[in-house]
Structure 1
Amino acid sequence: MSEKKTPPFAVSGINHLALVCSNMEKTVEFYEDVLGFPLIKTVELPGGAGQHFFFDIGGGNHLAFFWFPDAPAPAPGIAAAAGMPGGGDLTSAVGSMNHVAFTIPLDKFDEYREKLIAAGVNTGVILNHDDSESTVAQEMHPGVFVRSLYFQDPDGILLEFACYTRELTDDDVKHAPANQTAGA
């Protein structure tokens, strides 16, 4: 599409993504006990305004949560996806956080799915993403570029375990960006 340029900023990744939860205790239990992400920092916000906790998700990446005592109720289908790919509406509003995808090893994909199910986590169907018209294949084949399993945390935040099945190349950039304002 476009030639590679030297980036104007030396960004090496995402420091953290901050989400909002309804119950910090349940959030800690899920992310630390079920997913195994160590809790590495806790902050009490001044004046009883809430809490801000950070989890290490590996590779120098962190996932953070705010808990606000007066946070508005969740708004699935507006501020977040209402369902899971392959089993519900994935659409969410412009400016929303749709889902968080965690990279996992390809050879652990099935094992990790079973661990989530054994822990009682609401999981979706396995999606083998390819370049077909439907963008998903029933079975693995050489054109599958990523395997995905979507699931939800206790607040319904959409999460994904994803693993690339091959290296992406310049040939994987084939589509022109849409030139239309969403919601117009």
Structure 2
Amino acid sequence: MESGGNNPLQLRSLNHISILCRSLEKSLDFYQSVLGFFPIRRPGSFDFDGAWLFNYGLGIHLLQCENPEKLPKITRINPKDNHISFQCESMTTVEKKLKEMGIQYVKTRLEEGGINVDQLFFHDPDGLMIEICNCDNLPVIPLTGGETVISSCSRISCNVQPQQIQQPVHINQ
């Protein structure tokens, strides 16, 4: 398989991530009240419990786990664990809100070539690691193809608010 800037599958963007939940209700509350996602229509033909959420150009599909007791236990917050990351406008605001909500987090700072990137890591109700960062401080520099610098994707505004939607949003599972 070739590396570099080719696109053999002609991909356009990340559509959604699916997350198994111990409690669909707890996860719905977390992704709406903490991370600002809003529910969207989910096909009624599915024969399992779940919910679809959307914001920031990303879909999150919550799936009720058939055997919640078999999901991995929530462990300590480890920034090196698998995680999803969200860009924010103000790390100070995020940290203040997490404290107000009583959400435990780990704070780190990365320094690269005089650029500081702040990161906050915490868990969702099922132990999935969430990172909030100001990572758009770092340029995206491809390892091949010369010295071209790509601006961070987060500098493209794709934040959709629920009241702006005129028609149903359809995301294929």
Same fold, judged at TM 0.5 (above): yes
Give the corresponding residue for 1:104: 88
Give the corresponding residue for 1:75: 72
User: Residues 68 and 75 from structure 1, CA distance in 2 versus in 1: closer, same or farther, beyond 3 angstroms?
Assistant: closer
Say which SS state the counterpart of residue 67 (structure 2) adopts.
coil
Aligned-residue RMSD, C-alpha = 2.7
- Looking at structure 2, the residues matched to 42 and 5 of structure 1 have their Cα atoms a distance apart, in angstroms, of 34
Give the corresponding residue for 1:55: 53
- Looking at structure 1, the residues matched to 59 and 43 of structure 2 have their Cα atoms a distance apart, in angstroms, of 15
- Looking at structure 1, the residues matched to 22 and 104 of structure 2 have their Cα atoms a distance apart, in angstroms, of 18
Q: 1:114 aligns with which of 96, 99, 102?
A: 96
Give the corresponding residue for 2:138: 166
Percent identity over the alignment is 20
Say which SS state the counterpart of residue 161 (structure 1) adopts.
strand
TM-score with structure 1 setting the length:
0.65
Give the corresponding residue for 1:142: 114
Say which SS state the counterpart of residue 91 (structure 2) adopts.
helix
Tell me if the contact between 1:42 and 1:51 (Cα under 8 Å) persists in the aligned partners: no
Number of residue pairs aligned between Structure 1 and Structure 2: 141
- Looking at structure 1, the residues matched to 35 and 6 of structure 2 have their Cα atoms a distance apart, in angstroms, of 36
TM-score with structure 2 setting the length:
0.68
Larger relative contact order (Cα-Cα within 8 Å, sequence gap ≥ 6) = 2
User: Residues 43 and 143 from structure 1, CA distance in 2 versus in 1: closer, same or farther, beyond 3 angstroms?
Assistant: same
Tell me if the contact between 1:21 and 1:66 (Cα under 8 Å) persists in the aligned partners: yes
Gap regions ≥5 residues in structure 1: 92-97, 132-140, 172-184
